[in-house]
Structure 1
Amino acid sequence: MTTTVMASAATTSLAFFAPGGVTAGRSAARLAAPPRHRRALQLVRAQQTSDDGAPNKPAAAAAPKKLGLWDALAFSGPAPERINGRLAMVGFVSALAVEAARGDGLLAQAGNGAGLAWFAYTAVVLSAASLVPLLQGETAEGRSGGVMTADAELWNGRLAMLGLVALAVTEYLTGAPFVNV
């Protein structure tokens, strides 16, 4: 395959020719030179061609690539940060709700183990719900639109992770729950 590039550009000469020869005077240069604020329009087109010189047709929409479980869960895979972010968002809101309802801080909630079963159940359900579309070849970017974008979800998850850490550190340093009832 070869790539053909066609370019067109307006060019200007460096010397100004007068009927009697080349002139370098200022007045002749000002009259003959194009204004400096005008730029030449450049148009570049690239087209991929096959070996016989015929242009290639665009490929039909490719089927989404299906990931294996270990590819999705790899350190640089699409699942770990998204799953951790989703769990952090649920955990941050739940921790604040329990603090407001019962008065127990985050560390007290983690220490008494009352919510451990709910946490395990939520982690399994959210992990499965996040992995199934990835294993079927869908991406979060392909399903996002409007205000709810894949990038917004990642940033909200990151902020929720930081919020959980800040909540735990604040409670540890002050010795009291963040939401004082």
Structure 2
Amino acid sequence: MAASSYAMASTMTTRSRLNHFGFPALYIPTMRTTNVNLRVRSMAEEEQKQQPIESTIPVAPPKPTPQPAPTRSPKVSTKFGDVLGFSGAAPERINGRLAMIGFVAAIAVELSNGEDVFTQISNGGIPWFLGTSVLLSFASLIPLFQGVSVESKSKRIMSSYAELWNGRFAMLGLVALAFTEFLKGGTLL
């Protein structure tokens, strides 16, 4: 009788409880926490614990790997189309060098004589421009046709990359100087 009344009382108490949805539940399990120590091990730890089996076969020491011979930089193409092509080494460098000299010369003559760029060209500047252009072009092309790359002669401060950017700025500066003097109708300074 006591067992049946205990079973009846336990079912009555569980029916009065509500589950997490708000409906009456017949059985709600309770979780009892106990101190359970779980240990997670990786397979790498197990492999390290295993002792390697020593073999009786003699093993030769590894041979030292030979150091590769120092490689020379690839030879630069000396073909006319490669040197003077659209993406070749010469066109932008030569134009940049000419622009650097032209910009400095135009500013120097403007400061000394008070003449703008167009006056300098019309007062005998064309032969000077052509002579300088031919001389600098040949001086720039001779090493390129001999296979010497510009990057091989590059130093820290005077690098080929800096020369390209200086030439680009000089080209922009020369065009800006001429355009400004044309709009102003006289010298810049």
TM bucket (normalised to shorter chain) is: 0.5 to 0.7
1:101 aligns with 2:112: yes
Q: Which runs of 4+ in 1 moved over 3 A?
A: 54-60
TM-score (norm 1): 0.65
In structure 1, C-alpha distance between the alignment counterparts of 2:146 and 2:185, rounded to whole Å:
47
Structure with a larger share of its residues in strand: 1
* Superposition pairs of residues 79-98 of structure 1, within 5 angstroms: 79-98=90-109
Structure 1 alignment gaps of length 5 or more: 1-26, 34-53
Identity of aligned residues (%): 48
TM-score (norm 2): 0.62
Equivalent residue letter for 1:65: V
- 95 and 58 in structure 1: CA distance in 2 versus 1, 3 angstrom threshold: same
Instruction: Tell me how far 1:79 sits from its aligned partner.
Output: 0.3
In structure 2, C-alpha distance between the alignment counterparts of 1:62 and 1:89, rounded to whole Å:
30
| CA RMSD, 1 decimal | 2.6
Give deviations 1:89-126, integer Å, cap 9, x for gaps. 0000000011111111012222x151111111110111
* Superposition pairs of residues 5-84 of structure 1, within 5 angstroms: 57-58=68-69, 60-61=71-72, 64-84=75-95
Q: How many residues were matched structurally?
A: 131
Structure 2 alignment gaps of length 5 or more: 1-36, 43-64
Equivalent residue letter for 2:143: P
Give deviations 1:132-158, integer Å, cap 9, x for gaps. 111111111110112100000000000
Query: Which is greater in Rg?
Result: 2
